[in-house]
A and B are shown apart, each in its own frame.
Chain A
Amino acid sequence: DAGVIQSPRHEVTEMGQEVTLRCKPISGHDYLFWYRQTMMRGLELLIYFNNNVPIDDSGMPEDRFSAKMPNASFSTLKIQPSEPRDSAVYFCASSPLVLDSYLSKNGYTFGSGTRLTVV
């Protein structure tokens, strides 16, 4: 298995532009998570999906952020318009089950992340 695949690996954009980050979860994983990592705040959960349905988006910082999962093998995180404070590494992770018994034996699988720089 290729693992969780994210694209692009790096993105540099100007303030005000739209940015779209992409994620392909591991096949068969029912859960997909979007995280943001900064030096100041560490890893923060933005939103997660179960069977393509958004379950909890309370971590999404503001209306400029939106996420979709049109099918089981693809998700996007969009920022429009982007701002310099959005600069961070955005990780996607997937998991087949989110039950305590499963989590005790296995961990989430993270992608390699997208490093976003908004200038």
Chain B
Amino acid sequence: GQQVMQIPQYQHVQEGEDFTTYCNSSTTLSNIQWYKQRPGGHPVFLIQLVKSGEVKKQKRLTFQFGEAKKNSSLHITATQTTDVGTYFCAGTPSEEYGNKLVFGAGTILRVKS
């Protein structure tokens, strides 16, 4: 079945260091979304990428969608303690466009101050 793999599973960084999480799909995705879940909270939408090779920025966060639309990454520059949480990618498989998102297992980010 459709799988979206996310690495690393867990990362612990010193405040001020950069952080990157990667998302890889076994099939082409029509879009990719990223969500953040704070500890004890619920997933909150960050961004959606649709175009091949697309890059979007939100302040210290940079999101990329691969040329083949099978992978994506989220990069955080100079992490802060407010970045703590789990980051999920989620994609819509092209052959099932319109109905469902397939979520990765998430990357847990911890930031030491």
A and B part of one assembly: no
B-to-A contact residues, CB < 8 Å: none
A-to-B contact residues, CB < 8 Å: none
